[in-house]
Structure 1
């Protein structure tokens, strides 16, 4: 019996292992999801499109920055002549310091050395704004130009692409107005070179101070002090702008500032100027709130000094390339105008209107 038992133990059926057999390799462990692949493909295409558009915008921005560097050189070169003319005792020149209410409301007049110091401060502000926007964009802008990506739009990219977008809209707006039989009034700007340099230098800086600092920064300071003490910042932040969240209060103040800025252009222009000026005011207000006063000055300077280098050199050698450059900016500006218009629509629909009329939550 013992031998039989031993034999049974040795010759019994093999033990069944609990380990499951290895699953053969197969690339699709789950059912093939064609919809998911299509969504991923659309996402990749969207990223590629954004990269191309970003590179295109950065290229336009850097050409604008180079052109404005030429305008800065003209400003510096003509500034001594401006100073001499302002100090001319025989001419007895003076200028008014004004605010907008929304009419252009003079406060007082300055002349002589005070006028020269005022002009010098405006020139210094433009130079500082150009240098500051280049310095603060030094990390993000190369990524936008070379790789077409950035975590956040650099200040110079935002100002440059907004410039070409508004430039495109302005040209189309006036073309449609003329096509419709209107005759918008455009000042001739036939003054001497030193007068144009002084006038546009003052406009590039002072109009931003009275429109952005006085009509955005100061109201936000008062609102935060009275109703939003938890958001109070240093007083300098309200004067120089930058790093504000774009929420309902900030957006309404920007809108108010842009309307005042647009109405101020009725004097010397006409009603047709208020539309492009209002949009430009929205852009300047956005730049002031998100980046700072320097970005708004850079943006304004780009418009006011656009023709100064051509007028100064008075040569087809510069005017012809500028014409092709403006055509390129207009073509690129059409793309960015659509992009920014869409973003504005989405922002108003999801953001500001939700404050007035809250949108229903998704089920």
Structure 2
């Protein structure tokens, strides 16, 4: 078992909150590592953080943030689980299922017991997201190496319909978005350098593909609400630039924002006291922040290469970062 240190104790939070952050697995880590995957605040008032371990070490855990102790070790078969990202699906009857994307496909886990519910695909999945269309059926959407978006019933693991062809080359990233009018979208980013919006029920494209840097690939997409009611869509490409759009119209929100010489290993976007903030974990083991509207880089940094954030009802946000040496840093973001 890895030695993982906890730094800081979180304040009490609001029950029932669900957020996720994606990350890109790299192959040059040189020590113990804990990747923050997903925050979950259940109705009993606990603050839980799900993490994956070193690439291929087979560790998947749930931490109690108040105590800094592992509350659940997942039943990982073997020792070669390589997790790309994770997503949670709350289901009727109090069930909670965690899906993880990896080179072997997509795995589903019972969060209450840690039991593996099964592998539901043999196609490499770069990322997974949760969406609940207006039909009410909660599904996992997986970004496939085959250029398709794959669907599974979160409760049963059964495939839902046929995969959607989304991009030329890999589908690198996927996230769920709900527009101001209630329309559910899935947003994908591809190896072909475009961000595409899809109606989550019909599968029809919404607007034109949104390009990133010429010759670039889309690493991660994320979204959050704006004070004026719009939804901000953010993408980071492998040319080290951030792109911002209105998720409904596709109109750019400001010019591309260069993020420096550091490779982005993780990215998340979260509103902090009304203003959206982009948080990027970089390969120099530093987490940096930008004002998502102005593109201004903020001075506050954290140690770490992997990051997960959680919006709070009082306007603040929580952050968890994971460092090369296995340290998890938990803190509250304020303006």
TM bucket, shorter chain: under 0.3
More strand by share: 2
User: TM-score w.r.t. structure 1 length?
Assistant: 0.22
Q: Which has the higher contact order (CA 8 A, sep 6+)?
A: 1
Answer 1 or 2: which has greater helix percent: 1
